[in-house]
Chains A and B, each alone.
Chain A
Amino acid sequence: EAQVTQNPRYLITVTGKKLTVTCSQNMNHEYMSWYRQDPGLGLRQIYYSMNVEVTDKGDVPEGYKVSRKEKRNFPLILESPSPNQTSLYFCASAPLGTGELFFGEGSRLTVL
């Protein structure tokens, strides 16, 4: 089954404690992206990648890091989380040039 898998789905953490949200896709897509969803703000892009070892900033990259060492994986790293990073995070992938994103089920992060 074609899917994008994110883990963890739910996480409560404290300010400053590094965490990683993993994302893996099994569709051999070149394009992968991270979004955060906040009430009234819709979806905002954090980082994206168009291929292995190629990553770039989206609209709200501050406080986040990503890596793309393998085509299927695109982890999101919060080196020192802060309460304003409390949000619902989505990973997505797509074939290049289509805009046809496949989304994971989301990871709800709370930073205390």
Chain B
Amino acid sequence: GDSVTQMEGPVTLSEEAFLTINCTYTATGYPSLFWYVQYPGEGLQLLLKATKADDKGSNKGFEATYRKETTSFHLEKGSVQVSDSAVYFCALRYNTDKLIFGTGTRLQVFP
């Protein structure tokens, strides 16, 4: 069945470091792909999305490119801030309104 695999966390970085959080997916067709972010004590929020191959989603300095050939949607940011500390979830949606989430990756950024 369809599934999403994320890298294990926590990811620990110093402020202004480069961030990559890996996400790969398994799906029978061409799903839409999402990154959601959960700040401490809050619900998830949509961070960015991409609906077809080679699309790049971007928001708040974060980017992710839909790579069909590698079935990946890695999240990147050039310079992280302490305020980016959160849990990041990769998700896919294929043919229905159901989202399949990865298990989440915790990011900790230190000054």
Count A/B pairs, Cβ under 8 Å.
50
Instruction: Report whether A99 and B101 are in contact in the complex, using a CB–CB cutoff of 8 Å.
Output: no
Instruction: Report whether A45 and B104 are in contact in the complex, using a CB–CB cutoff of 8 Å.
Output: no
Instruction: Report whether B43 and A106 are in contact in the complex, using a CB–CB cutoff of 8 Å.
Output: yes
Majority secondary structure of chain B interface residues (helix, strand, loop or mixed) = strand
User: Of the candidates A31, A42, A104, which one forms a contact with B97 in the assembled complex, judged by CB atoms under 8 Å apart?
Assistant: A31
Stretch at the interface among A12-20, A62-70, A72-80, A89-97: A89-97
Instruction: Report whether B99 and A99 are in contact in the complex, using a CB–CB cutoff of 8 Å.
Output: yes
Q: How far is the CB of A54 from chain B (nearest CB, A)?
A: 12
Q: Which size bracket describes the interface of A in this complex?
A: 20 to 34
Q: Which residues of A contact B36 (CB under 8 A)?
A: 101
Q: How far is the CB of A108 from chain B (nearest CB, A)?
A: 10
Instruction: Report whether A48 and B97 are in contact in the complex, using a CB–CB cutoff of 8 Å.
Output: yes
Instruction: Report whether A105 and B42 are in contact in the complex, using a CB–CB cutoff of 8 Å.
Output: yes
Q: Which B residues lie at the A interface, using CB under 8 A?
A: 32, 34, 36, 41-46, 49, 89, 91, 93, 97-99, 101-104
Q: Which A residues lie at the B interface, using CB under 8 A?
A: 4, 31, 40-43, 45, 48, 50, 58, 90, 92, 94, 96-106
What are 9 A-B pairs at a CB distance below 8 A? A42-B89, A43-B44, A99-B97, A100-B46, A101-B36, A101-B44, A103-B43, A103-B44, A105-B42
